[in-house]
């Protein structure tokens, strides 16, 4: 959560609207707001005269005046606080009038959620900072400067431009517009303004707008220097990213096009490196957008010293970076990629916390991998995503086989759709035992795909594809329904644990889906345990926690899977009353290898005990590991020591055996299971 509260002034005379706004703000967990509420435009002006605010949120209807009138009065008073206008009305005319009056954003009331309002507030503040920067640049320039949008409407101008307008048109209320029109008509010619002669210079902006510069020829030497400086400042703002100071997408497009043209003449090879952070969204969700911004600034600071002569780096947006490299030899581009990955993967400290996001880099070469900018960038991006899915290397060079890789993934996606309808999915179960007595406590359900063409396919070969294509929602529902239906038929009332995917746990209808499945199958809610990983929660923490509360209200238990492997396991435990935590197998596997690992395991297990949350240890493979878990009074255990996953249809006979025989029986190798697949559930 941000340390400093964002000061909001809400202007609305409708109690229902105020409730809607405050309810939306309460959904935002990564920011803190200091809210002041008034019910009239007059009261708002009084507050603004006495206090400063970061953002104003105003209703369109404010008694006898409109929100647009209020915004105009705010701007006439010289107040530059960003304003977000809310309305229940629709129409582009209102939208246009609000923005022309000086609104930073325009939101229909029906679309307001915590995420939408938080995004609008952050955008309004960033937009206001940019406007203030532009005003500061223009104000310090003695030349008359003005910025026009693509429709030739004035958006910014400095005091010198106003002086020129007054000299030319006196007190005419339209003097600024008239001077802009005159200057646009004259373009590069001199114009007479009262008793002064001004040289007009017009520079086109990438968005279709223009920058006008009016220079007094009576002080030409000084004016020429100021003009060059002013144009350089304005162009830098237009062509550079304000957060990192790196060139932006527009500058990158121009530079790469120029580099390709030069390379076509000289025969020079170019390498295009495309890279981003592997866990950038996670950093934003866990630490806040200010932490994400700090990560980007640090990345830019570390990137610049790595560039060789002639290299060019830019930020395209979000956490997307690109680098144009003039190839020196066969290893120069991969060596550069290695150094970039190494430098940008170093930990970043932010407010006492350590961020380690990781970097993936894709490399495409001119002319081998494309002759056009779009083709090179697409192939570099493809190589980057291949690097993300690979193991052991943070960078990947594009090759033609990646097209085959894409076709293969599309083929698997097609086969997955058929698998759902053809009954090719199977449930496997792995036993969970009481740590102290060894009694069977229940089963964790795992998903297997028995493909007619591929044989038994482990989840890690198809779950990511299912998530990318959206099929994961249907697969999740199938696993939940099939698991509950099977458990309802067991002779003993054992619990059944089902892992739910990140996309499903954030879906608005997940609680209703689980409730309906329990009714359909007749399984008591107390026998179902939904397992979620930290990754599933951080994708959309507020939505995920809201859904988990609804699921828990049905009587279903909630377990945190793979505890201790992420950034914020502790903070998540404080955010939601989990019924169980499952300590990741990596902890117990490291016990005995070094003393530090044992200490970490004791701390994690003791934490669950201190919080009163039952602890299950995953990955028990030896008697020594079991004894270690028992000594720490862990509640339940799971792993190969008690047996490999088995088809759900085979588990009914095991409870009939004595405990020792059951363990021996389960320890027989299972043909369909593998060390790499048993840990992958339906998520």
Q: What is the DSSP string of 480-515?
A: HHHHHHHHHT-SS--EEEEE--HHHHTSTTHHHHHH
224/339 same-domain check: no
Contact 589, 602 (CB under 8 A): no
Distance CA 44, CA 60 (A): 14
Residue 257, in any domain of the structure: yes
Contact 643, 666 (CB under 8 A): yes
- The residue ranges of the chain whose pLDDT is under 50 are 1-2, 221, 567-568, 655-683
From residue 204, alpha-carbon distances to 94, 139, 158, 210, 252 in Å are: 29, 20, 18, 4, 18
Residue 177, in any domain of the structure: yes
Buried b (16+ CB within 10 A) or exposed e, 552-567: beeebbbbbbbbbebb
Query: What pLDDT sits at residue 225?
Result: 59
N-term to C-term CA, the chain:
29
C-alpha atoms less than 13 angstroms from C-alpha of 453 in its C-beta half-sphere = 7
Query: What pLDDT sits at residue 220?
Result: 58
For residue 275, what is the enclosing H or E element? Answer: strand 270-277
**In this structure, what CATH number is given to the domain that contains residue 653?**
3.20.20.450
Query: What pLDDT sits at residue 676?
Result: 29
- Three-state SS at 268: coil
614/493 same-domain check: yes
What single DSSP character describes residue 308?
P
Q: Which two tokens stand for residue 134?
A: 């532009």
pTM: 0.47
Closest CA to 340 of 311, 367, 316: 311
**In this structure, what CATH number is given to the domain that contains residue 393?**
3.30.70.270
Q: Which two tokens stand for residue 430?
A: 């792995």
- 191 contacts: CB under 8 Å, gap ≥ 6: 182, 183, 197, 198, 200
Residue 671, in any domain of the structure: no
337/223 same-domain check: no
- Three-state SS at 142: coil
Residue 644, in any domain of the structure: yes
Query: What pLDDT sits at residue 10?
Result: 92
Reported for 388-394, long-range contacts at CB under 8 A and 24+ positions apart, including other chains, are 388/278, 388/360, 389/464, 394/337, 394/338, 394/341, 394/345, 394/358, 394/359, 394/360, 394/361
Query: What pLDDT sits at residue 174?
Result: 84
Q: Read off the pLDDT of residues 438-458 as tens digits, 9 standing for 90 and up.
A: 999 999 999 999 999 899 988
Distance CA 576, CA 599 (A): 26
Residue 244, in any domain of the structure: no
Give the domain-ending residue among 239, 262, 292. 239
Query: What pLDDT sits at residue 655?
Result: 47
**Residue 367, preceding peptide bond in cis (omega within 30° of 0):** yes
509/574 same-domain check: yes
114/222 same-domain check: no
Contact 39, 68 (CB under 8 A): no
Cα 325 from chain centre: 28
Longest dimension (CA), the chain: 108
Our count of domains for the chain comes to: 4
Q: Give the strand pairing for 6-11 and 55-59.
A: parallel
Residue 389, in any domain of the structure: yes
472/545 same-domain check: yes
179/263 same-domain check: no
Closest CA to 83 of 128, 38, 47, 27: 128
Give the domain-ending residue among 92, 108, 128. 128
Could you tell me where the beta strands, DSSP code E, fall in 399-479?
Answer: 425-434, 440-451, 455-457
Q: Which two tokens stand for residue 526?
A: 């107390």
438/346 same-domain check: no
Cβ atoms within 10 Å, residue 180? 21
229/300 same-domain check: no
Residue 683, in any domain of the structure: no
Print the domain residue range for 122.
6-128
208/293 same-domain check: no
351/464 same-domain check: no
Q: Give the strand pairing for 270-277 and 154-157.
A: unpaired
Surface-to-core class of residue 349, CB atoms within 10 Å of its CB (0-12 exposed, 13-18 middle, 19+ buried): exposed
Contact 472, 500 (CB under 8 A): no
For residue 145, what is the enclosing H or E element? Answer: strand 144-148
561/653 same-domain check: yes
C-alpha atoms less than 13 angstroms from C-alpha of 611 in its C-beta half-sphere = 22
Residue 78, in any domain of the structure: yes
**In this structure, what CATH number is given to the domain that contains residue 31?**
3.40.50.2300
For residue 85, what is the enclosing H or E element? Answer: strand 83-87
């Amino acid at each position: 959560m941000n340390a400093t509260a964002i000061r909001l002034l809400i202007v609305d005379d409708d109690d229902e609207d105020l409730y809607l706004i405050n309810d939306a703000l309460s959904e935002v967990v990564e920011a803190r707001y200091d809210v002041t509420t008034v019910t009239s435009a007059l009261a708002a002006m009084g507050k603004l005269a006495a206090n400063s605010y970061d953002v104003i949120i105003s209703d369109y209807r404010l008694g006898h005046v409109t929100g647009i009138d209020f915004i105009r009065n705010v701007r006439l008073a010289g107040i530059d606080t960003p304003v977000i206008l809310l309305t229940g009305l629709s129409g582009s005319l209102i939208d246009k009038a609000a923005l022309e009056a000086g609104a930073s954003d325009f939101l229909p009331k029906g679309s307001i959620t915590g995420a939408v309002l938080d995004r609008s507030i952050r955008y309004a503040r960033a937009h206001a900072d940019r406007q203030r920067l532009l005003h500061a640049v223009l104000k310090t320039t003695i030349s008359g400067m003005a910025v026009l949008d693509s429709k030739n409407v004035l958006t910014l101008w400095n005091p010198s431009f106003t002086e020129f307008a007054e000299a030319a048109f006196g007190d005419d209320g339209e003097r600024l517009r008239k001077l802009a029109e005159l200057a646009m008509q004259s373009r590069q010619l001199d114009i007479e303004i009262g008793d002064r002669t001004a040289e007009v210079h017009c520079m086109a902006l990438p968005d279709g707008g223009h920058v006008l510069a009016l220079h007094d020829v009576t002080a030409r030497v000084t004016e020429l220097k100021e003009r060059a400086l002013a144009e350089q400042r304005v162009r830098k703002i237009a062509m550079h990213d304000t957060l990192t100071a790196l060139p932006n997408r527009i500058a990158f497009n121009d530079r790469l096009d120029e580099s390709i043209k030069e390379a076509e003449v000289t025969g020079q090879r170019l390498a295009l490196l495309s890279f981003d952070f592997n866990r950038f969204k996670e950093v934003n969700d866990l630490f806040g957008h200010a932490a994400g911004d700090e990560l980007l600034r640090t990345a830019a600071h570390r990137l610049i010293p790595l560039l060789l002569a002639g290299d060019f780096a830019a930020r395209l947006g979000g956490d997307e970076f690109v680098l144009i490299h003039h190839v020196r030899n066969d290893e120069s581009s991969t060596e550069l990629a290695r150094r970039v990955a190494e430098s940008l993967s170093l930990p970043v400290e932010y407010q006492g916390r350590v961020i380690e996001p990781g970097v993936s880099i894709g490399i495409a070469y001119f002319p081998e991998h494309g002759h056009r900018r779009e083709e090179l960038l697409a192939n570099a991006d493809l190589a980057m995503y291949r690097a993300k899915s690979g193991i052991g290397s943070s960078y990947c060079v594009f090759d033609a086989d990646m097209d085959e890789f894409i076709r293969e993934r599309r083929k698997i996606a097609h086969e997955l759709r058929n698998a759902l309808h053809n009954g090719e999915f199977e449930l496997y179960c792995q036993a969970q035992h009481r740590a102290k007595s060894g009694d069977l406590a229940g089963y964790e359900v795992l998903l297997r795909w028995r493909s007619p063409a591929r044989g038994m396919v482990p989840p890690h070969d198809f779950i990511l594809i299912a998530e990318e294509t959206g099929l994961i929602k249907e697969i999740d529902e199938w696993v939940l329904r099939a698991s509950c239906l099977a458990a309802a038929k067991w002779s003993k009332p054992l619990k059944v644990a089902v892992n739910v995917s990140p996309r499903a746990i954030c879906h608005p209808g997940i609680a209703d889906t689980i409730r309906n499945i329990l009714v359909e199958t007749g399984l008591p809610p107390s026998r179902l345990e939904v397992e979620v990983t930290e990754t599933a929660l951080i994708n959309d923490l507020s939505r995920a926690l809201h859904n988990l509360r609804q699921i828990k209200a049905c009587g279903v238990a909630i377990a945190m899977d793979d505890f201790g492997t992420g950034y914020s396991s502790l903070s998540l435990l404080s955010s939601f009353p989990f019924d169980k935590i499952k300590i990741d197998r990596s902890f117990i596997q490291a016990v005995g290898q070094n003393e530090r690992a044992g200490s970490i395991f004791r701390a994690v297990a003791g934490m669950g005990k201190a919080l009163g949350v039952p602890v299950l240890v995953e990955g028990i493979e030896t008697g020594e590991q079991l004894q270690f878990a028992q000594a720490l009074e862990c509640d339940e255990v799971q792993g190969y020591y008690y047996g490999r996953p088995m088809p759900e249809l085979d588990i009914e006979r095991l409870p009939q055996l004595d405990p020792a025989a059951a363990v021996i029986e389960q320890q027989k190798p299972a043909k369909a299971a593998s060390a790499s697949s048993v840990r992958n559930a339906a998520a």
